[in-house]
Amino acid sequence: MAADRDRYLEKYAFPFCAKQADKYEKVAKIGQGTFGEVFKARSRTDPKKIVALKRVLMENEKEGFPITALREIRILQQLNHENIVNLIEICRTYNRNKTTFYLVFDFCEHDLAGLLSNVSVKFTLSEIKKVMQQIFEGLYYIHYNKILHRDMKAANILITKRGILKLADFGLARAFSIKKDHKANRYTNRVVTLWYRPPELLLGERHYGPPVDMWGAGCVMAEMWTRSPIMQGNTEQHQLTLIGHFCGAMNEEVWPGVSKLDLFRKLEMPKDESRRRVKERLRPYVKDQLACDLIDKLLILDPSKRLDADSALNHDLLWSDPMPCSLEKMLANHHQSMFEYNAPTRRGARGGMVGGSLRASTQNQNQQHQQQQHQQPQQLNKTITNDGYVDRVF
């Protein structure tokens, strides 16, 4: 099968899919994800044009081009918005009898995980508001277009040096429908990186929707102050327990219908006495009351009561002084690209908000984090490129 596929790929001309060797020159590796590596590259025809190349992993494929990559491409082709990463084209290389495909994106200088792990990057309240406003604009647009992202996390949020934020990594995204005949959808619930996974997915819900992304947005928003993921579970059970400690008990009173979810009786549920402590726990970090209130409303257990993107955009936080302001000036102080891949601190000893304050990670948490980051080798990239940016480890 694999040999047949290789023979087919070798002979086929792919008229709409340029050979990358002719078109782009790799500059540095900037990411290592589940589905392949990401490189910064420069166009050979227009050296001012910098792109990101995301390699399509073909190794385990028996049936040609991977369906997951096709889904990502299909969805990205459908989306066109300032706050969504722009897919330019698909291209390929042919080396040692092997064809490799790449998704070519407009390049963004940073990802939010990289920025948050660099202590010298300081966000003002206005700048945090601008980050959140752009996340909600992007989510509003995709949800309006019936797309769920399903992998919200800081590493999947890109920011250009001009301060424009782009939601990226649609590798887990899918279209959703609202069924008129009241029949439930049966989507997989094994989506969203564990630390950002909402309680309905942990409890086995398969008929979910946009609120799964809003929970992730709430986790990311809190992280703008805590600077590391707020709930770092080791297992699905542990994640649910951490959510219970933070957001209180999950019962019919606060969340009608929760006891009917598949895993409600199979997992150990947080005790009924568990109080909701979101605002109390966040107060040491998040001094602004409106900001605390918005995070609280994004981290509502019952997905039907969780704030949607439209209401988040209308929240008083984004319409009160200090108003959201551009990130461009702050980012101009930093001359290095910052990515999660280049940030060892995010892959290693980080604390969560478990227990009320930031604390050192346990070894387990480290292991989990490393698993989540796919055990990347700590590689030192230091390449000065024409656009004046230095890719490096800090």
Q: Residue 54 interacts with ligand ATP (CB under 6 A)?
A: yes
Residue 379, CA atoms < 13 Å, CB-side half-sphere: 14
Task: Classify 97 in phi/psi space as left (phi over 0), alpha (psi -120 to 50) or beta.
Answer: left
Q: Residue 187 interacts with ligand ATP (CB under 6 A)?
A: no
Question: Residue 24: what are its φ and ψ, rounded to 5°?
Answer: -125, 145
C-alpha distances (whole Å) from 4 to each of 38, 61, 249, 334 are 27, 12, 55, 49
Q: Residue 232 interacts with Mg ion (CB under 5 A)?
A: no
Q: Residue 107 interacts with ligand ATP (CB under 6 A)?
A: yes
Q: Residue 339 interacts with ligand ATP (CB under 6 A)?
A: yes
Residues 254-293 that bind Mg ion (CB under 5 A): none
Q: Kindly tell me the sign of the dihedral angle through the C-alpha atoms of 161, 325, 82, 342.
A: positive
Task: Identify which of 357, 338, 364, 360 has the alpha carbon closest to the alpha carbon of residue 349.
Answer: 360
With CB under 5 to 8 Å by kind, the binding choice for 52 among Mg ion, ligand ATP, none is: ligand ATP
78's enclosing H/E stretch is helix 67-78
In whole angstroms, give the CA distance from residue 130 to residue 163. Answer: 9
Q: How far is the CB of 96 from ligand ATP (least distance, A)?
A: 23
Q: How far is the CB of 233 from Mg ion (least distance, A)?
A: 19
Q: Which stretch binds Mg ion (CB under 5 A): 3-11, 19-27, 151-159, 352-360?
A: 151-159
Contact (Cβ atoms closer than 8 angstroms) between residue 250 and residue 260: no
In whole angstroms, give the CA distance from residue 118 to residue 330. Answer: 13
Between residues 15 and 388, which has the closer beta carbon with respect to ligand ATP? 388
Contact (Cβ atoms closer than 8 angstroms) between residue 68 and residue 171: yes
Q: What three-state secondary structure class fits 225? A: helix
Q: Which stretch binds Mg ion (CB under 5 A): 166-174, 192-200, 333-341, 366-374?
A: 166-174
Q: Residue 52 interacts with ligand ATP (CB under 6 A)?
A: yes
Strands 390-391 and 336-337: parallel
Between residues 141 and 285, which has the closer beta carbon with respect to ligand ATP? 141
Q: Which stretch binds ligand ATP (CB under 6 A): 21-29, 167-175, 195-203, 238-246?
A: 167-175
Displacement of CA 334 from its chain's centroid (Å): 23
In whole angstroms, give the CA distance from residue 8 to residue 318. Answer: 54
Between residues 127 and 169, which has the closer beta carbon with respect to Mg ion? 169
Residue count, binding to Mg ion (CB under 5 A):
3
**Residue choice 7, 34, 64, 184 for contact with ligand ATP (CB under 6 A):** 34
Q: Identify the DSSP state of 16.
A: T
Between residues 320 and 379, which has the closer beta carbon with respect to ligand ATP? 379
In whole angstroms, give the CA distance from residue 56 to residue 385. Answer: 25
Q: Which stretch binds ligand ATP (CB under 6 A): 26-34, 76-84, 245-253, 300-308?
A: 26-34
Question: Please, what is the angle between helix 211-226 and helix 289-298, to 10°?
Answer: 140
Between residues 171 and 233, which has the closer beta carbon with respect to ligand ATP? 171
**Residue choice 35, 65, 123, 264 for contact with ligand ATP (CB under 6 A):** 35
Task: Identify which of 207, 236, 230 has the alpha carbon closest to the alpha carbon of residue 304.
Answer: 207
Between residues 215 and 246, which has the closer beta carbon with respect to ligand ATP? 215
**Residue choice 138, 163, 171, 210 for contact with ligand ATP (CB under 6 A):** 171
Between residues 33 and 114, which has the closer beta carbon with respect to Mg ion? 33
One-letter amino acid identity for 104? V
Q: Residue 220 interacts with ligand ATP (CB under 6 A)?
A: no
Contact (Cβ atoms closer than 8 angstroms) between residue 290 and residue 125: no
Catalytic residue numbers? 151
**Residue choice 72, 127, 137, 169 for contact with Mg ion (CB under 5 A):** 169
Q: Residue 156 interacts with Mg ion (CB under 5 A)?
A: yes
Applying CB under 5 A, the residues found at the interface with Mg ion are 33, 156, 169
Applying CB under 6 A, the residues found at the interface with ligand ATP are 30-31, 33-36, 38, 52, 54, 85, 105, 107-108, 111, 151, 155-156, 158, 168-169, 171, 339-341
